[in-house]
């Protein structure tokens, strides 16, 4: 079964790449781009409103990035907080893997 795109975002970076603003897109091209060769990986955490940290791994590839929750609670958190998780993943890729934001053309969240 081929992956389908549920929701797309336009990514806007603030000063010094510290603030990430995501604008949901109404129409998403279902002809996603294959992610391609691996460029690097980074781990990051998102602290929920309840103070609980959720861990994720983000892999940057030639065509975009893939976010993988570390456990079931991180999967459950991302389902209701996608913008927060994606925003933190983008910051992690820019700051830790040193990738230019214009290389992020596709973002996958692996919920398996």
- pLDDT tens string for the chain (112 positions)? 444 445 556 566 666 656 666 666 555 454 555 567 888 999 999 999 889 999 999 999 877 888 999 999 999 999 899 889 998 999 999 999 998 877 777 788 887 7
Distance (Å, whole) CA 24 – CA 7: 7
Q: Which structural domain, as residue segments, surrounds residue 77?
A: 8-109
Q: Is residue 85 part of a domain?
A: yes
Whether residue 3 is contained in a domain is answered as: no
pLDDT at position 109 is 83
In a domain, 21, yes or no: yes
**pLDDT recorded at residue 106:** 78
Helix axes 72-80, 82-96, angle to 10 degrees: 110
| The pLDDT value given to residue 3 | 45
Number of domains in the chain: 1
């Amino acid at each position: 079964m081929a992956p389908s795109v549920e929701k797309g975002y336009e990514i806007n970076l603030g000063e010094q790449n510290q603030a990430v603003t995501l604008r949901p897109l109404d129409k998403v091209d279902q002809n996603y781009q294959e992610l391609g060769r691996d460029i690097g990986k980074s781990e990051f955490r998102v602290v929920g409103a309840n103070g609980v940290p959720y861990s994720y791994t983000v892999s940057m590839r030639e065509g975009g990035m893939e976010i993988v929750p570390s456990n079931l609670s991180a999967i459950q958190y991302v389902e209701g907080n996608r913008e927060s998780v994606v925003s933190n993943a983008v910051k992690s890729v820019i700051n830790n893997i040193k990738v230019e934001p214009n290389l992020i053309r596709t973002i996958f969240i692996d919920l398996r």
